[in-house]
Structure 1
Amino acid sequence: MKYGLSVVNDSGVVSLDSEYARLCVFHKSAYTANVAVTFQNAVTTQEPPLVFIRPLNNGSFIQLGVILGGSAGAWSSATVVSGQAHSGDIFVAAFSSTPITSYGFRMWDAESKQIFDSGTQAVIFTRSVQNWTYTHTTYSSQGLPTNWYSITMDYALGDYLMINNARMPMMGANNESRGTGLRYDFASSVLRLSVTTVSNPFYLLLQAVFGKIAT
């Protein structure tokens, strides 16, 4: 950039830049499946916030999804949707910031949007995995196929899974919408993804994205 502020860490990576917002935490707490979590700070971005969860290891099978409350510019809550009773930890983040502390350091971009507050915790993406392994296909009573895929869970790494794309319809190259489902399978130490549609291709490029709060 020609002017402004840029902070580079010891590895040469830009960790703060006055032209771009960091992914910042707006809420963190525990959650219970199918119970709405009200954000500690409303998310004022037009785009929906990113929801990261880390369910407690209950040794079983957990289906995941998320419903956001509020609307563009005023996102207020999130509900982790599941067919199984479970709980865990959650944090919600957005590429924006909110004034929290009465002193410290803040930055705004050229459009007067606040993009950094030193009292707000930042989020870092830890990994993005898309090397899903096809495992099997099941069929509904109407003959509708569901393809199943898995990846190694690596739960011990301690990061959180972004679930915005859990249960989100996905388009294939054949222009056909595919229903998706995301599940923790603790007993097998894998994440499982299901894809359902009438004409079901086997390729899958959907990413499983993980992150954690920077310390």
Structure 2
Amino acid sequence: MASYGLSVVNDNGVVSIDSEYARLCVLQSGTYAGSTSVSVPFIPAITTQEPPLLFLRPNNNSGSVTVGCSISGSPGNWTGMTISGTANTSISGKYFVGGFAASPVSSYGMRLWDGAGALIFDSGTPSAVFTRFFQNWTYVRSTQDAQGYYTNWYSSPFSSSTDEYLMINNASMRMLSGDNVGRLPRIVFDFAASQLWFTTTALSNPFAFSLPAIFAKIVA
């Protein structure tokens, strides 16, 4: 909480606006649909130094949906993202792009800047809150393809909420393994079995896995 400036506390005693700290803002939101992969441009480009946080909510197809992602651009100029699925498979759903910075979108209302001059609140920028976090994964099985790549499968029970999105940045960065290639993670929503899966694919086969699943929802 700010020692000076402005703080707004809700009915539960939680600080929702503070003049020293940015909240999680929704910088862009919408829907996506396509086959195999979908490119989503950031309009305008996102100017944070750190990559934005990407949240997805795939449509429930009564089966399973595999998703991954990549971010285009560089610090201060993030230009878009690519949402990927499996070959020749349709993917669709909702997304939002979050960051701990506001966009100057409101033509009237209120804005706050921090001590360094960065915009941390704009009354026209929607916000989001983290809703749950878990990493209680159960290793289930490994498969190996013709090229010798191992894929490990880790599961956790999952109930689909009507307003929650899963942060998928974890599915865009390689993990360490016993070689210089690394482990490539993917996320699988198994709606039919009410399971959330993380898979890792690598030439070597380490079993340790503790990446968190982080959920959030748009609140304003």
**Global fold match (TM > 0.5):** yes
1:97-116 alignment, distance < 5 Å: 97-116=102-121
CA 1:51–1:148 in structure 2 vs 1: closer, same or farther (change >3 Å)?
same
The TM-score, its normalising length taken from structure 2, stands at 0.89
Q: Which runs of 4+ in 1 moved over 4 A?
A: none
Task: Give 1:20's aligned residue.
Answer: 21
Distance in 2 between residues matched to 1:87 and 1:196, nearest whole Å: 24
For 2:211 and 2:63, locate their aligned partners in 1 and report how far apart those are by CA, in whole Å: 24
Identity of aligned residues (%): 48
**Which residue of the partner structure matches residue 92 of structure 1?**
97
More deviation in 126-135 or 138-147?
Answer: 138-147
CA distance in 2, matches of 1:175, 1:214: 43
Deviation by residue 1:27-53 (Cα, 9 ceiling, x = unmatched): 111102422122343211011111111
Contact 2:179–2:204 (Cα < 8 Å) also in 1: no
Equivalent position to 1:72, from 72, 75, 87: 75
Name which of structure 1's ranges 140-149 and 47-56 shifts more when overlaid on structure 2: 140-149
Relative to structure 1, the CA distance from residue 199 to residue 71 in structure 2 (aligned partners, 3 Å threshold; closer, same or farther) is closer
Unaligned residue ranges in structure 1 (runs of 5+) = none
Residues in 2 aligned to 1:154 and 1:139: alpha-carbon distance in whole angstroms: 29
Rounded to whole Å, the distance in 2 between the matches of 1:71 and 1:167 is 15
Q: 3-state SS of the aligned residue for 1:166?
A: helix
Deviation at 1:142, TM superposition (A): 4.6
2:133 aligned partner: 128
In the alignment, is residue 46 of structure 1 matched against residue 49 of structure 2?
Answer: yes
Query: Following the alignment from structure 1 to structure 2, what is the Cα–Cα distance between the partners of residues 145 and 69?
Result: 28
| SS across alignment from 2:161 | helix
Structure 1 residue 198 displacement after superposition: 4.4
After the TM superposition, which of the residue ranges 26-35 and 67-76 deviates more from structure 2? 67-76
Residues 199, 60 of structure 1: CA spacing in aligned structure 2 closer, same or farther, 3 A cutoff? same
Q: Aligned residue for 2:200?
A: 195
TM-score, normalized by length of structure 1?
0.91
The number of aligned residues is: 214
